[in-house]
Amino acid sequence: MKDLLRSLGYAVEHFSSAEQFLEWICANQTSCIITDVRMPGIGGIELQARLVAQGRRIPMIFMTAFPDENEKARVLKAGAIGFLTKPIAQKSLVECLTRAFAGSNAAYT
Mean pLDDT of 31-49: 96
| Residue 79 located in a structural domain | yes
| Residue 107 located in a structural domain | no
Write the CATH number for 71.
Answer: 3.40.50.2300
Mean pLDDT of 27-45: 94
Q: Would you say 44 and 59 are in contact if contact means Cβ atoms under 8 Å apart?
A: no
Report the domain count for the chain.
1
Model pLDDT, residue 27? 83
| Residue 6 located in a structural domain | no
* Mean per-residue pLDDT over the chain, rounded: 92
| Residue 61 located in a structural domain | yes
Q: What are the tens digits of pLDDT across the range 68-91?
A: 999 999 999 999 999 999 999 999
Containing structural domain, residue 83: 16-23+31-102
Q: How many residues does the chain have?
A: 109
| Residue 5 located in a structural domain | no
| Residue 92 located in a structural domain | yes
Q: Would you say 100 and 81 are in contact if contact means Cβ atoms under 8 Å apart?
A: yes
Alpha carbons 45 and 24: distance in angstroms, whole number: 19
